[in-house]
């Protein structure tokens, strides 16, 4: 592959994601921020299309997102964000200063390893697990057999058979509360999570924290977390972010309109 930066008109870029949320949201927010043209393919995780034969040809691991650039397939959302920043023109999404670039990667690692698994556990047990109750156990086992990665299969088994320990859910809640406090403190020191400019650190966090005013209203509000609240307002006001959140099949876009209203922003911009 040519090492020079490419523009959207010079190369082929296809993006396979679910709703613009969590891992699926990260490449969409990056590409829209940099205004890179791409072809979008919606993979419905509610129907478990990520385990379909057609998608497994693209990504044999059955994970989302998958990004295909001139035949090269990327399957991990955080390294893919850095690739997007390198491969395409547009505003730089990483700090030039080595210290702040280190800080950016530290934030992203903390999100990926500590916070996002906690958020995923809570959300999946609240939203997905009830849909499996009362289903034929043999049918559920057949669905499990379609999941290629053993660690993913183990996570889905807990969901499908209501086996997530209460202590694990409580620990996930603790991690989220700790992250909220940590980020509010950080944003009291600098306007963005890796210094004075919007970066991949902000995109990584925003892809999952965008809904906190609705999901955690007692913990995240203008009084309890003023710096995080102001950061959420500034992130939600970005045109690229608004474009990315309109790329789903509806429910994330509607939720974002509600969130913008809570933040005191013009909801019509996100409609």
Q: Which of 170, 197, 224 is the last residue of a domain?
A: 197
The more confidently predicted of residues 92 and 137 is 92
Q: Which of 62, 87, 112 is the last residue of a domain?
A: 87
The tally of domains found in the chain comes to: 3
pTM score: 0.84
Q: Tell me, yes or no, whether 27 lies in a domain.
A: yes
The more confidently predicted of residues 117 and 189 is 189
20 lies in the same domain as 68: yes
147 lies in the same domain as 190: yes
Q: Which long-range contacts (CB under 8 A, 24 or more apart) does 248-255 make?
A: 248/18, 248/19, 248/20, 248/21, 248/42, 249/19, 249/42, 249/44, 251/19, 252/19, 252/20, 252/21, 255/211, 255/214
Ramachandran quadrant class, 226 (left: phi over 0; alpha: psi -120 to 50; beta: rest) = alpha
Domain that holds residue 216: 210-271
168 lies in the same domain as 226: no
Q: Tell me, yes or no, whether 205 lies in a domain.
A: no
189 lies in the same domain as 220: no
pLDDT at 227 over 80: yes
Among the ranges given (73-77, 161-165, 168-172), the one the predictor scored with the smallest mean pLDDT: 161-165
Q: Which of 53, 69, 87 is the last residue of a domain?
A: 87
121 lies in the same domain as 41: no
Q: What is the mean pLDDT of residues 69-84?
A: 95
pLDDT computed for residue 128 by the predictor: 67
Distance of CA 4 to the CA centre of its chain: 28
59 lies in the same domain as 137: no
Both structure tokens of 62? 């059955």
pLDDT at 155 over 50: yes
pLDDT computed for residue 129 by the predictor: 62
pLDDT per position as a tens digit, 182-195: 999 999 999 999 99
Q: Tell me, yes or no, whether 239 lies in a domain.
A: yes
């Amino acid at each position: 592959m040519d090492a020079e930066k490419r523009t959207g008109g010079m190369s082929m870029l296809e993006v396979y994601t679910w709703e613009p949320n969590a891992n699926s949201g990260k490449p969409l927010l990056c590409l829209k921020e940099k205004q890179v043209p791409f072809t979008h393919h919606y993979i419905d995780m509610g129907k478990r299309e990520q385990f379909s034969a057609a998608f497994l040809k693209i990504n044999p691991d059955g994970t989302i997102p998958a990004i295909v650039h001139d035949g090269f397939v990327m399957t991990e959302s955080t390294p893919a964000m850095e690739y997007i920043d390198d491969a395409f023109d547009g505003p730089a999404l990483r700090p030039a200063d080595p210290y702040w670039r280190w800080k950016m990667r530290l934030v992203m690692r903390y999100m990926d390893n500590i916070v996002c698994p906690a958020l995923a556990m809570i959300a999946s047990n609240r939203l997905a697990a009830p849909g499996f109750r009362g289903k034929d156990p043999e049918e559920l086992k057949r669905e499990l057999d379609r999941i290629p990665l053993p660690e993913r299969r183990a996570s889905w088994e807990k969901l499908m058979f209501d086996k997530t320990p209460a202590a694990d859910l409580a620990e996930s809640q603790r991690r989220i509360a700790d992250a909220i406090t940590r980020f509010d403190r950080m944003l009291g020191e600098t306007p963005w999570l890796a210094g004075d400019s919007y970066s991949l650190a902000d995109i990584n966090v925003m892809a999952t924290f965008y809904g906190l005013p609705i999901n955690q209203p007692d913990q995240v509000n203008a009084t309890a977390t003023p710096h995080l609240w102001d950061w959420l307002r500034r992130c939600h006001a970005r045109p690229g972010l608004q474009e990315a959140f309109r790329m789903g099949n509806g429910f994330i876009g509607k939720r974002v309109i509600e969130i913008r209203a809570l933040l005191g922003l013009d909801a019509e911009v996100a409609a």
